[in-house]
């Protein structure tokens, strides 16, 4: 299915048009759009989880849930992608400059942006400083996916929203249950996954399921 969202693509026209005038940026942009952006976001999430172990049950549970939300968001994404069946812009538009390898999956929504939206929103809910870092990295990744010709603008916007919404829903529906599991794990041999005992966090208790 083509032209699902109309024939005008202003975000793609601007960002991919910018790519045509910035050849010196192509190498770095292609690497960041392909794998480096997601890798950096994953690294920030791991750092946030490590820090959360020294804080409270809400923080560490949110870190774990954020990782899970990425997977759930990708699953939701696949359902939507197959329902909409939108082709990649470089298959449909002749003037698109493609800087990444050809992908034969659907364009809408963007998988990379789902991960970016989930990690950015998740971190903002329990570690604001790292959340801001993740937001910058995520928005850059979303824009870069359009810059390299892999997506339309609406693909990455939808992806960011899907990831963020899954995290927010889970914060109220899933996290309270995960917090109980985390509190239990803290008393087992798996305690390093959820608590840094050397830090002796004062607020590490089952009742600390609240905004950190």
Measured in Å, how far apart are the chain's first and last C-alpha atoms? 45
Q: Where are the domains of the chain?
A: 10-199
Mean pLDDT of 87-105: 90
Is residue 170 scored above 60 in pLDDT?
A: yes
Mean pLDDT (the chain) is 87
User: How far is the C-alpha of 159 from the C-alpha of 166, rounded, in Å?
Assistant: 11
* Claim: this prediction has a pTM higher than 0.75: yes
Whether the CB-CB separation of 142 and 116 falls below 8 Å is answered with yes
Fold of 10-199: Vanadium-containing Chloroperoxidase; domain 1 (1.20.144)
User: How far is the C-alpha of 27 from the C-alpha of 24, rounded, in Å?
Assistant: 7
Is residue 7 scored above 60 in pLDDT?
A: no
More confident residue, 32 or 175: 32
Is residue 20 scored above 50 in pLDDT?
A: yes
Question: pLDDT (tens digit, 9 = 90+) per residue, 180-209?
Answer: 877 777 676 666 666 666 655 555 554 444
């Amino acid at each position: 299915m083509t032209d699902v969202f109309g024939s005008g693509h202003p975000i793609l026209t601007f960002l991919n048009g910018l790519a045509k005038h910035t050849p010196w940026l192509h190498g770095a942009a292609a690497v960041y759009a392909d794998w480096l952006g997601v890798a950096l976001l994953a690294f920030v999430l791991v750092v946030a989880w490590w820090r959360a172990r020294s804080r409270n049950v809400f923080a560490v549970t949110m870190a774990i849930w954020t990782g899970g939300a990425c997977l759930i968001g990708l699953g939701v994404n696949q359902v939507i992608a197959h329902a909409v069946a939108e082709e990649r812009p470089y298959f449909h538009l002749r003037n698109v400059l493609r800087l990444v390898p050809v992908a034969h999956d659907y364009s809408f929504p963007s998988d990379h942006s789902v991960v970016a939206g989930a990690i950015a929103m998740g971190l903002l809910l329990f570690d604001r400083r790292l959340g801001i870092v993740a937001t910058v990295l995520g928005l850059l990744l979303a824009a870069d996916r359009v810059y390299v010709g892999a997506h339309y603008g609406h693909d990455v916007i939808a992806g960011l929203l899907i990831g963020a919404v899954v995290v927010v829903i889970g914060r109220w529906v899933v996290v309270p249950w995960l917090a109980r599991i985390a509190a239990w794990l803290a008393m087992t041999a798996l305690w390093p996954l959820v608590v840094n005992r050397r830090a002796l966090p004062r607020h590490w208790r089952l009742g600390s399921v609240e905004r950190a």
